[in-house]
Chain A
Amino acid sequence: QSALTQPASVSGSPGQSITISCTGSRSDVGSYNLVSWYQQHPGKAPKLMIYEVSKRPSGVSNRFSGSKSGSTASLTISGLQAEDEADYYCCSYAGSSTYAVFGGGTKLTVL
């Protein structure tokens, strides 16, 4: 059982927007603005899409955005494209001992 809770799957049509939630606790998401999001295509390594809740690394499309409210972080993808179909994982800093906890992952299907 993962420390952070994500929906198992979400779907949307091309051009639409979707949001993936990531629910943690006061021990992780609720206490630190150190949430990151990763995109993983089948058989590939994860790719960093969002860090520090809402920042995008160089080269990541501005269609990807992140936010946080309390102990729940969210990833929003606007203008869905076929290439966005992948698994998405959230991750949060959880203190110096536990350090990093991941969500169970969300499979995004572009209809």
Chain B
Amino acid sequence: QVQLQESGPRLVKPSETLSLTCIVSGGSISSYYWSWIRQPPGKGLDWIGYIYYSGSTNYNPSLKSRVTISIDTSKNQFSLKLSSVTAADTAVYYCARLQDQSDAFDIWGQGTMVTVSS
């Protein structure tokens, strides 16, 4: 059974770069799309972007200038970098598997709360 686990700093200073990693266990990262989604406190879900195991990416246009998603198939993990963060980037960040045929997020990590504050 595939499981996802996010890891990374829980506190990031304004203007710095947020970095998170998602480790995929119980299955291979290959042949799938992998995504990052975030949820500000008390608010709804916001798609950040996805990466295919081959390395091709697609980002939310509203975040595109600040987002980089990368993948390391040898370690079965993928990562998120969000630069120039502000308080508006404070959120629970989820990694998820994306089914390309149905465009549905079928497996999710437990999420990690990241706070942007000095």
Contacts and interface: CB of A to CB of B under 8 A. Distances in A.
B27 interface: no
Interface string A10-50: 00000000000000000000001010101000001111100
B58 A99 contact: yes
Interface string A36-66: 1010000011111001100101000000000
A100 B103 contact: yes
A46 B44 contact: no
Interface residues of A, number: 27
A2 B109 CA distance: 23
Nearest to A87: B44
B58 A96 contact: yes
A99 B35 CA distance: 11
A93 B105 CA distance: 11
